[in-house]
Chain A
Amino acid sequence: MMHEKLGDLADKVISACTADKVLVVARAEEYILTRYALNRIHQHVRQELVNFTVVVEKNKKIGMASTASLEERDVLSALSKAMDNTELASGESTLDLADTGVQVFDTRSQFLDFLFHDHAERAKVVQHIAGQGEKVGAQAFGAFQVNRGTVVIKNSAGTDVRMLGDSGAIKVMYIKGHGSGYQHARFDSPGNFVWESLAEKALQKCLDSQDPRPLNPGRYTVILEPLAVASMLEQLSFFSFNARTAHQGYSYIWNERGKQVFPPHITVYDWGMDDLTLNRMPADFEGYLRKPVHFIEGGMARDVVFDSRHASLMGQPNTGHALPPESVEWSPLPLNVIMLPGSTPIDKLIESTERGILITMFHYVNSYLDPLKVLATGLTRNGTFYIEEGRVRHAVANTRFLQSFVEALQNVEAVGSELLYTGEEFMSVTAPALKVNNFNFM
Chain B
Amino acid sequence: MKEFLERLIQCALDMGADYADARFVSRRTEEIAVQDGRLEKAQLSSTQGYNIRVFVDGAFGFAASWDSDKWRTTVEEAVRIARSSALAGGGRTLWRPAVTPQHGHFEGPCKKDPFSVPLNIKVSLLMEADRLMAGNSAVKHREAFLEFWEEDKAFCNSEGSFVTQRYVESGGLIQAAAQDGTDRQVRSYPNSFGDFRKAGWEFIEEMDLVGHAEEIADQAAALLKAPEMPAGEANLILMGPQLALQVHESIGHATELDRVLGYEAAFAGTSFATVEGLGSFRYGSAVMNVTSDPTLPYGLGSFGWDDEGTPARQVFLIKDGVLVDFLSDRETAAQIGRDSSGASRADGWWSLPIVRMTNVNLLPGEASLEELLDRAGNGYIMDINRNWSIDDKRLNFHFGVEAAWEVKNGKVGRLFKNPSYWGITPEFWSQLVAVAGPSHWRVWGLPNCGKGEPEQVMRVGHGTAPALFRNVKVGGRG
Give chain A's interface residues, CB within 8 Å of chain B.
Answer: 31, 33-51, 62-70, 74, 78, 81-82, 84-85, 88-91, 93, 119-120, 122-124, 126-127, 130, 139, 141-143, 145, 171-173, 175, 180, 182, 248-250, 325-326, 328-329, 363-372, 375, 377-379, 381, 398, 400, 402, 425, 442
Contacts and interface: CB of A to CB of B under 8 A. Distances in A.
A40 B60 CA distance: 12
A155 B48 CA distance: 26
A93 B40 CA distance: 8
Nearest to B186: A368
Contact of A364 (B39, B60, B261, B391): B391
A348 to B, nearest CB: 30
Contacts of B66: 48-50, 68-70
A366 B387 contact: yes
Given A64-B42, A171-B266, A398-B392, A44 B119 contact: no
B40 A328 contact: yes
B4 interface: no
B131 to A, nearest CB: 11
Nearest to A37: B263
B15 interface: no
Interface of B: 31, 33, 35, 37-49, 59-67, 70, 74, 77-78, 80-85, 87-90, 92-93, 118-120, 123-124, 127, 140-141, 143, 145, 177, 179, 181-184, 261-267, 269, 350-352, 354, 386-392, 396, 398, 400, 418, 420, 422, 453-455, 477
Contacts of A45: 61-64, 81, 352
Nearest to A255: B181
A87 B370 CA distance: 51
Interface centre among A40, A47, A130, by most B CB within 10 Å?
A47
15 contacts: A41-B59, A47-B350, A48-B65, A66-B44, A69-B48, A89-B39, A89-B42, A123-B87, A145-B453, A171-B267, A173-B265, A328-B41, A363-B392, A400-B396, A400-B398
Contacts of B183: 372
A44 B64 CA distance: 12
Given A48-B66, A67-B46, A124-B87, A90 B124 contact: yes
Given A50-B66, A91-B123, A143-B266, 4 more contacts: A47-B63, A88-B120, A328-B40, A400-B422
Contacts of A84: 119
Given A47-B454, A143-B267, A65 B84 contact: no
Contacts of A127: 87-89
Given A249-B179, A369-B418, A119 B41 contact: no
B422 A442 contact: yes
Contact of A142 (B62, B82, B118, B266): B266
Nearest to B387: A368
B453 to A, nearest CB: 5
Contact of A143 (B47, B61, B453): B453
Given A43-B62, A371-B184, A64 B81 contact: no
Given A248-B140, A425-B455, A68 B47 contact: yes
Given A65-B43, A91-B38, A368-B400, A40 B88 contact: yes
Contacts of A367: 387
In order of increasing CB-CB distance, the 8 nearest A-B pairs are: A40-B89, A68-B47, A119-B84, A88-B119, A141-B266, A123-B87, A368-B387, A41-B90
A130 B77 CA distance: 24
A38 to B, nearest CB: 5
A78 B44 CA distance: 8
B179 A250 contact: yes
Given A35-B453, A46-B64, A377-B398, A369 B387 contact: yes
A367 B140 CA distance: 20
B394 to A, nearest CB: 10
Contacts of B267: 143, 171
Interface centre among B47, B269, B454, by most A CB within 10 Å?
B454
Nearest to A142: B266
A175 B262 CA distance: 10
A400 B49 CA distance: 42
Given A41-B89, A42-B263, A48 B60 contact: no
Contacts of A41: 59, 85, 87-90
Given A90-B120, A90-B124, A371-B184, A366 B84 contact: no
B170 to A, nearest CB: 18
Contact of A46 (B63, B422, B477): B63
B88 A248 contact: no
B39 A90 contact: yes
A33 B119 CA distance: 39
B40 A372 contact: no
B80 A119 contact: yes
Contacts of A69: 46, 48, 66
A40 B62 contact: no
A240 to B, nearest CB: 13
A119 B262 contact: no
A393 B243 CA distance: 41
A39 B66 CA distance: 32
A44 B350 contact: no
Contact of B262 (A64, A123, A141, A402): A141
Given A38-B262, A123-B88, A141-B265, A46 B388 contact: no
Given A64-B43, A400-B398, A48 B392 contact: no
Contact of A89 (B65, B120, B420): B120
Given A40-B92, A46-B63, A46-B81, A369 B400 contact: yes
Given A45-B64, A48-B65, A120-B84, A33 B453 contact: yes
Interface centre among A45, A85, A398, A400, by most B CB within 10 Å?
A45
A46 B62 contact: yes
A250 B186 CA distance: 13
Nearest to B264: A37
Contacts of A68: 45-49, 66
Given A89-B42, A93-B39, A398-B391, A44 B262 contact: no
Contact of B85 (A39, A123, A425): A123
Contact of A91 (B39, B64, B350): B39
Contact of A62 (B39, B62, B84, B179): B39
Contacts of B262: 37-38, 139, 141, 175
A65 B140 CA distance: 30
A63 B44 CA distance: 9
Contacts of A67: 45-47
B297 to A, nearest CB: 30
Nearest to A375: B477
Given A63-B42, A68-B48, A85-B42, A44 B85 contact: yes
B38 A120 contact: no
Given A81-B44, A91-B38, A123-B85, A46 B389 contact: no
A82 to B, nearest CB: 8
A52 B154 CA distance: 24
Contacts of A364: 389-392
B81 A44 contact: yes
B169 to A, nearest CB: 17
A91 B41 contact: no
Contacts of B352: 43, 45
Contacts of B140: 248-249
Given A90-B123, A329-B40, A398-B391, A250 B453 contact: no
A248 B120 contact: no
A154 B57 CA distance: 47
Contacts of A33: 453-454
Interface centre among B48, B60, B87, B420, by most A CB within 10 Å?
B87
